[in-house]
Amino acid sequence: MITGLVQENKSHLKKLVHSNESYPGLNSENTPMRVFYPKNPINHTLILFPGASPSAEKHPKMNLLAKVLANAGYLVFLPRIPPLKELIISLEIIDWMGHFFQWLQAREDVLEDRIVVIGISFGGAMVLKASLRNEFQKHPPKSMLVFGTHYDIETALRFLLAGKLVVNGHERIVQADEWGLIVLFHNYLSRVDVGYDTTTVQKILKLSMKEDSEGIENELENISGREKKLIIQILAGKINEEIERITALFWEECKNEFKNISPKYWCDQITQKVFVMHGVNDTMAPFTESVKLADGLTDSRLLISYMYEHREIATHRGIFFQIKELLKIFFFLFEFIQYNER
């Protein structure tokens, strides 16, 4: 597993192919998923829930992870969760996750007491929330693993706006990822009155979700004034007083919703074992979120690594440093595997 994660260009991983299949969605509609069948199965199933991304089940990093896990013997399912693909932040995500988990348990090639669930980024917090649902509680997963997720939306928003981390009393400034700001405004700008028309801004944000750069350029030519200044700041991930003012409006309008998707307010109710991973250099969600999450959970194991960032593995460090980090990952994954296979 470790070799596959670090050396992602391994030829044997490239040869592993997925099966494009589907599952019945919330309204029985055919919903795409990818299934990775292991050559040497260990009779354990793993669900890999992605974060908010238009690539969904086609995301290359998610597929690499699925291949690594299948190569280790797991039967891996990578389902599309439509709201996450559309970058919509809502509790409907939890409905989809609970629905998929329950559907999967009925498959003949799945043992219901040997299912492990992994959630990435925003999908991680949603997995934890879904685990409190009846669909999960009837036959709970063996364990859960979350990577790069948040603990409290309020502190995650502060990081997004200020890029400030306070660790052991020392302040550190980090350039936050602009994608988080784009997703935030895409979801909540239409719900507040900012004092001027933002119709075109909302349209451009939707085009950003579809990664339609040509459409964005065309719309930018037809916009001016405060509206144009706002969208340029959002797309560049640059924070100014206006961005801060509007974000404060989001918080006031959606405070209860934010608490619903913040593990801070309910993670102590989770009884399953949760393995928590985070990269120190994550610019989407600060690693301090996972530190607080692990403290708030009843039964957890935490790994904070310098090897991992939000979107990739950092391999630019010296060899001795890498060895030290790989050993940390080894013992973490050893405990993860040992726990799930006992």
Task: Give me the residues of the chain with pLDDT under 50, please.
Answer: 309-315
Identify how many contiguous H helices and E strands the chain contains and give both numbers: 15, 10
Which residue in this structure is represented by tokens 């040992």?
Answer: 338
For residue 65, what are the CA distances in angstroms to 40, 68, 148? 17, 5, 14
pLDDT computed for residue 169 by the predictor: 64
- Give CATH 3.40.50.1820 domain extents, the chain: 2-152+262-341
Looking at residue 223, its amino acid is I
CA dist., res. 210 & res. 207, Å (int): 5
Residues whose CB falls within 8 Å of the CB of residue 79, separated by 6 or more in sequence, listed in order: 23, 31, 32, 33, 47, 49, 57, 100
pLDDT computed for residue 2 by the predictor: 65
Number of alpha carbons in the 13 Å side-chain half-sphere of residue 118: 21
For residue range 237-261, list pLDDT tens digits in order. 888 899 999 999 999 999 999 999 9
Assign domain 2-152+262-341 to its CATH superfamily: Alpha/Beta hydrolase fold, catalytic domain (3.40.50.1820)
Cα torsion 192, 197, 198, 200: sign: positive
CA dist., res. 254 & res. 316, Å (int): 41
pTM of the predicted structure, to 2 decimals: 0.88
Kindly give the interhelix angle for 199-209 and 178-188, rounded to the nearest 10 degrees: 130
pLDDT computed for residue 78 by the predictor: 97
pLDDT computed for residue 64 by the predictor: 87
pLDDT computed for residue 310 by the predictor: 43
Residues whose CB falls within 8 Å of the CB of residue 168, separated by 6 or more in sequence, listed in order: none
Which residue in this structure is represented by tokens 């090639």?
Answer: 109
pLDDT computed for residue 144 by the predictor: 97
The Cβ of residue 341 has, within 10 Å, a number of other Cβ atoms equal to 13
For residue 199, what are the CA distances in angstroms to 44, 50, 230, 241, 338? 48, 30, 12, 20, 53
Tokens, residue 116: 């492990």
